Structure 1
Amino acid sequence: MTETAHAVATAIRDCPECGAPVADGGRYVSWCAACDWNVDPEVPDEQPPGRVERLRRRLAQRGGEQLLAELTEFEEHGESGPPAASGAAGASGGGGKRRGTAGGLAAGLAAGVHGVTLALLVGGLWLIVAGWGENLLPAFGALGIGLALVLRPRFARLPKADEHRPVLRRPDAPRLFALLDEVAASVGTTGVDVVVIDADANASVSSYGVRQRRMLHIGLGLWEILTPQERIALLGHEFGHYSHGDTRRTLLVRSALHSLDTWRYTLAPQEAQSLTDTFVNVVTAPPRLLVDGLLVLLEHLTLHDSQRAEYRADTAAARAAGTDAAAGLMDRLLIADGVAGELARESVAARTRIGGARRDDPAEGLWERLAAHAASVPEREYERLRRVAERRGHQVDSTHPPTHLRHRRLTRGARVEPGIVCAPTRVVEVDTELAEVRRSVARALVRR
């Protein structure tokens, strides 16, 4: 037996549970594909979520499964899926009517939350004016105004540009923005006003300012590990959020959720170190439970619409980049935590002078090393992560359907050919345009 053959032979062992052959995973987990032995040996290191967050996750997982079945049924009948608008009360079928009712109730509840803020402001002003010089009424009025200012609806701001987070406008990267415009047009919307870039293993779209200008956030930790077509899928997914309704993303509901979260933080029980602390916790318990109830209700009313928007954004990703690229993007999301860990190791290695030849400039080649790390992940490990995701109900956050359900919908549905194929010359042009930004973010990362 040759040395290589011997190594291969010793790398195979029997599964202790079912006896099936198990290949040595090397630096990855060894597990059995036949019975899932050792498929999830790691204990999640995250802190146990609070009561509201646990409920959010349960609702998200259950809603994701129900919605997948609903969308699959529509598609099997040759339809593209239920109507997109959250208020589509006239949609065909009872599902559209229910979504329209839920969207209206969510908007009404959000308006009520803001009504409380307005009442605090008006009531505070009245107490100050009417009770000036009399007892403590002006003090209570000032407290009401202060609470109203804390809870007021807020417009998101454009992040301040720095080396950690460069902000690009059209003149800064015309080829990138041309690509963004093309992808946006392919999914039925328009492009963005600015692009914010950092080292995160994530991407998102949002609006900022009174005029609600559009902003795309690209995390190089995710962007750099994607193939060109997977980048198109990522952009198609994000722009899909603009072209499909999502009640939770409206300014009215989004700011109401922020106000309720602020109330929860304000009313959170304190560690009882004295009788006064215990008294305060008892007094604040009823409004705290009321706020929790309102928050869960608003989450529930908007969950279906939000998850449905995610599924439709995945459809937009497939339409722009093809089914294979959209499914590949789902897999890359599964290794996002590992990518973030790899970036953290690069940062620590740079600060502690570990890295041999990279010691002089640890930022040089950082993104290439990260891409090589992601490319080295074998298909067997991706399959393991898919199974782990299904066991744990992995999702990006409580607004997203579980990742394995999103992957299943893409891979088991009708295969879609890419609407946009990113030519190698175009990839080079965009990468060249982003070269200085990539260097800046890499330098900032290794120095932090």
Structure 2
Amino acid sequence: MITTKAGTEACPECGAATVSIREAMPWCGRCEWNLDGYDRARQAPEFGWSWIDRRTHRLATRLTRQQYAALVGRPLESSGLGLAGILTVAVSLLLLVGVLALAVAGVWLLFAYPFPNFAIVAGLALIGLAVALRPRFGRIDPDLEVLTREQAPELHALIEEVAGRIGAPLPHVIGVDSSINAYTTAVGLRRRRVLCLGLPLWGALDGQARVALLGHELGHFVNGDVRRLLVTDPALTMLGNAADLFRPTHGTHGSGLLELIGEWLGRILSWTVSRLLFLGHLVLVSTALRDSQRAEYLADEMSARAGGTAGATRLLDVLLNDESVALVVRQAARGGHGPAAWRAGMGRSLAGSAEWLPLVRQLSIREHTSLFATHPPAGLRHQMLTARPWQDPGVVLTEARAERIDAELTTHYERVGRIVSWSA
């Protein structure tokens, strides 16, 4: 239940009454005064110190607003990596060279001196460190239920149609799971493309919102998203792995004074190295995510190109209210109803929330802004779509075709319904 209330004061910028929902700090719904403020009571801490969180939120807000302003008036087309992406690639290559150097140095120490010698211990340590820091390229989630073309021909055909409309390559693997989400990723050294559709979300969406969802997710294969490139993986993972490797653990506490002092000094050194590596990891991730957020706007443009502006904005509104999706699906599943009832319930939920949805979108601009957010706030994404030329659907999903797709997924819907029925 969302309570909307007027603020106690008029906006100092435009004189309109301030508003608030969900006990949030008031802001002006007309000119968005105070919308960029840091609301300590409602925003989860990122560093644990309010004075740092306040300043990083201010920095993230400025960068997010600047990026939106730079993109809203220009064509949204993939133009390759931006400055942040190029920096991420450069750091990745340096890190790979560093890990390779560790491995080469370790092998050299194994054979450089006559056996036995202490250099062998150092060599094995360097090789072990190189192995621990090696880049990982991901694998298919074991919870993903893969759907072959024989099992779901209508769904595969729809995905092919949407991919053709936006000029995206087809995924190598298509599957479903029980999450209120959808994602694409690339796994393995060969970067096999994977598309996952969370069935609670997919089943609750109407036809054009489904097409918009496919357009957005497939758009990640062509929008230059830095998170999905093989060459940028080391910069996004290796320093974080190294920080975990050097994080001090609880020791055995030696009985003598010298042992205690040595253990204490070792823990201080490990903690310092771990924190420095983690700080470097945060800097790299926050830098790369600037480029990633730009890619999200482009994926939204492809979402509108496929499903139409109306379908794409409706999708954003559903994603902004994932709690409502969970409630609608849970109630319908407990009554033994399938995706048709989920869609009907979600339609009623959106209709009932039409009055306060604009405020929820605005509030997301404050509460979903972060240096470490992979997506721009839903409110800015909605504004970006509505500020651009209106697009009619490029692919139309009729009710009859949607029902045929749902029929292919009947067994999976039943399983997911049982899971969602008894979830908290």
> Above 0.5 in TM-score?
yes
Work out the CA distance in 2 between the residues paired with 1:214 and 1:60. Answer: 31
Alignment partner of 1:84 out of 79, 89, 93: 79
Q: 5 Å matches for 1:224-263?
A: 224-263=203-242
**Match in the other structure for 1:390:** 365
- Measure how far apart 1:146 and its partner are: 2.1
For residue 221 of structure 2, give the secondary structure of its aligned residue in structure 1.
helix
Alignment partner of 2:277 out of 278, 291, 297: 291
Deviations 1:72-100 (CA, angstroms, capped at 9, x unpaired):
232xxxxx2465211xxxxxxxxxxxx3x
For residue 396 of structure 2, give the secondary structure of its aligned residue in structure 1.
coil
For the pair 1:152 / 2:131, whether they are aligned, the reply is no
Work out the CA distance in 2 between the residues paired with 1:290 and 1:46. Answer: 26
Structure 1: gaps spanning 5 or more residues: 1-11, 20-32, 75-79, 87-98, 347-354
Cα 1:278–1:187 shift into 2, 3 Å: farther
For the pair 1:418 / 2:398, whether they are aligned, the reply is no
For the pair 1:40 / 2:23, whether they are aligned, the reply is yes
Cα 1:48–1:425 shift into 2, 3 Å: same
- Measure how far apart 1:121 and its partner are: 1.8
**Match in the other structure for 1:308:** 294
For residue 73 of structure 2, give the secondary structure of its aligned residue in structure 1.
helix
- Which range moves more in the overlay, 273-282 or 108-117? 273-282
Q: Give, as a single letter, the amino acid of the residue that structure 2 aligns with 1:84.
A: S
- Measure how far apart 1:250 and its partner are: 0.8
Deviations 1:341-368 (CA, angstroms, capped at 9, x unpaired):
777xx5xxxxxxxx9xx9xx95832656
**Match in the other structure for 1:67:** 67
**Match in the other structure for 2:380:** 405
Cα 1:424–1:81 shift into 2, 3 Å: closer
Cα 1:34–1:232 shift into 2, 3 Å: farther
Q: 5 Å matches for 1:202-281?
A: 202-268=181-247, 278-281=264-267
Q: 5 Å matches for 1:134-173?
A: 134-160=116-142, 165-173=144-152
Cα 1:13–1:144 shift into 2, 3 Å: closer
**Match in the other structure for 1:23:** none
Alignment partner of 1:49 out of 43, 46, 49: 46
Contact 1:246 1:306 in 2 (8 A): yes
- Which range moves more in the overlay, 57-66 or 411-420? 57-66
Deviations 1:206-260 (CA, angstroms, capped at 9, x unpaired):
1123322211011123212211101111110111111222233211212331112
- Measure how far apart 1:444 and its partner are: 4.5
For residue 8 of structure 2, give the secondary structure of its aligned residue in structure 1.
coil
Work out the CA distance in 2 between the residues paired with 1:297 and 1:380. Answer: 40
For residue 415 of structure 1, give the secondary structure of its aligned residue in structure 2.
coil
Q: Give, as a single letter, the amino acid of the residue that structure 1 aligns with 2:373.
A: S
Residue identity over aligned pairs, in percent, reads 32
Alignment partner of 1:114 out of 91, 96, 102: 96
Structure 2: gaps spanning 5 or more residues: 11-15, 26-39, 254-259
**Match in the other structure for 1:181:** 160
Q: Give, as a single letter, the amino acid of the residue that structure 2 aligns with 1:120.
A: L
**Match in the other structure for 1:24:** none
Work out the CA distance in 2 between the residues paired with 1:281 and 1:395. Answer: 31
Deviations 1:143-174 (CA, angstroms, capped at 9, x unpaired):
222222222122222233xxx54111222211
**Match in the other structure for 1:429:** 404
Contact 2:57 2:369 in 1 (8 A): no
- Which range moves more in the overlay, 234-243 or 268-277? 268-277
Cα 1:13–1:292 shift into 2, 3 Å: closer
- Measure how far apart 1:197 and its partner are: 1.0
Q: Give, as a single letter, the amino acid of the residue that structure 2 aligns with 1:154.
A: R
TM-score, structure 1 as length reference: 0.75
Considering only aligned residues, what root-mean-square deviation do their CA atoms show, in Å?
Answer: 3.6
Work out the CA distance in 1 between the residues paired with 2:326 and 2:129. Answer: 38
For residue 242 of structure 1, give the secondary structure of its aligned residue in structure 2.
coil
- Measure how far apart 1:381 and its partner are: 4.0
Work out the CA distance in 2 between the residues paired with 1:238 and 1:231. Answer: 11
**Match in the other structure for 1:438:** 413
**Match in the other structure for 2:8:** 17
For residue 174 of structure 2, give the secondary structure of its aligned residue in structure 1.
strand
TM-score, structure 2 as length reference: 0.79
Cα 1:342–1:132 shift into 2, 3 Å: farther
- Which range moves more in the overlay, 55-64 or 319-328? 55-64
- Which range moves more in the overlay, 384-393 or 176-185? 384-393
Matched residues, number? 389
